[in-house]
Amino acid sequence: MKDIKYLMAFSVPLTVFISIYFGGIFSYTSLLYVFFFIPIVELFTPTHQRIFTEKESASRLKEKLFDWLLYLNIPIVYLVLIYGLFSFAKSDILPYEYFGFTLSLGILLATNAVNVAHELGHRNNKFDIFATRLLLLPCLYMHFTIEHNYGHHKNVATELDPATAKKGQSLYYFWITSVFGQYKNAWHIQMKLLKKKKTSFVSLENNLLLFLIFQGFYLATIFAFLGKGAMLIALLVGIISFLFLETINYIEHYGLKRKKIGGKYERVQNRHSWNSDHIMGRIILYELTRHSDHHFRASKKYQILESLEDSPRLPFGYPMSMLMAFFPPLWFAVMHPILLKVK
């Protein structure tokens, strides 16, 4: 029963629904929940490190509840998103509400779409691949899994990885280099895969081309049924969602480097990702915050990710760390002394 705690991941869609349904000052409910309430709770709750026995890991891998908790995000995300877009199209929205609603829907997609897609995107069965793409569609970031799996995990903590922030690099500059760098890399990977399969550019094997068509059709459908304003909101919400994702990328690997040994980079270790054991971020993000173990063994499912003892640790949970990253001088002041102590 203790694993029911992962139901807390659905608290974010609930706050987004409240933001849209009540409007007014409540339009900022999800923003306050994620970036005010959760950081305060994490400041006053102890972190919890955990190592599973082989028997515990085997038992947790057999438990289907963990998978269904992920799949449940698909209808929840789409229902709340459609409700939000419909509300934009059919209601008179005040300017300050407009801002709150848009950020709220962006948070919804960042936490319950992109993040869940990241977990499912490391699995190989056809349903999980389909679910991954369905969740990434409204985020307008369907190329993410290709670059993430074939690029980021291979090149993390090196100069070859645009998703690894360099020491002294501001979040805002990182957004530019990471978004465009990853998209460029995704096309490079896609072309190599097409060449390997001896398939032409215009084919059903060209996933990136298909993704462009799907995302264009998604926006066109919203335009057709709800109008130009709702389509613009869908576009903005998608951009906000992947910028939140890139903010998480920023804090997950900031300043960490792999050494070169004999002209080649050393094997990826848990010390090449920042770890966080802060409880709220852990359960709401399906253990994404135990990122060190994820990169050490990328195939591990979220329910058996562990807190490895020698992993570099963020001083705060993910929401607070993201807030600090929005203010580069503050982020540098906090993280650079810690970075100097990381081996």
Which pLDDT score, from 0 to 100, does residue 1 have? 60
Query: In which residue ranges of the chain is pLDDT below 50?
Result: none
- Cα 305 from chain centroid (whole Å): 16
Q: Which of 327, 315, 164, 328 is nearest to 249 (CA)?
A: 164
Which pLDDT score, from 0 to 100, does residue 128 have? 96
Residues 28, 34, 35, CA angle at the centre, nearest 5°? 85
What's the pTM value of the predicted model, to 2 decimals?
A: 0.94
Which pLDDT score, from 0 to 100, does residue 91 have? 83
Cβ-in-10-Å burial (0-12, 13-18, 19+) of 343 comes to exposed
Which pLDDT score, from 0 to 100, does residue 207 have? 95
Q: Where are the domains of the chain?
A: 2-247
* Nearest-angstrom CA–CA distance, 286 and 123: 15
Q: Answer for the pair 25, 98: CB distance below 8 angstroms, yes or no.
A: no
Centre a 10 Å sphere on the Cβ of residue 286 and count the other Cβ atoms it contains: 24
- Cα 154 from chain centroid (whole Å): 18
The tokens 């869609």 sit on which residue?
13
Which pLDDT score, from 0 to 100, does residue 54 have? 85
Q: Which two tokens stand for residue 288?
A: 């994404």
* Nearest-angstrom CA–CA distance, 308 and 292: 7
Which pLDDT score, from 0 to 100, does residue 262 have? 80
Which pLDDT score, from 0 to 100, does residue 122 have? 94
Which pLDDT score, from 0 to 100, does residue 240 have? 97
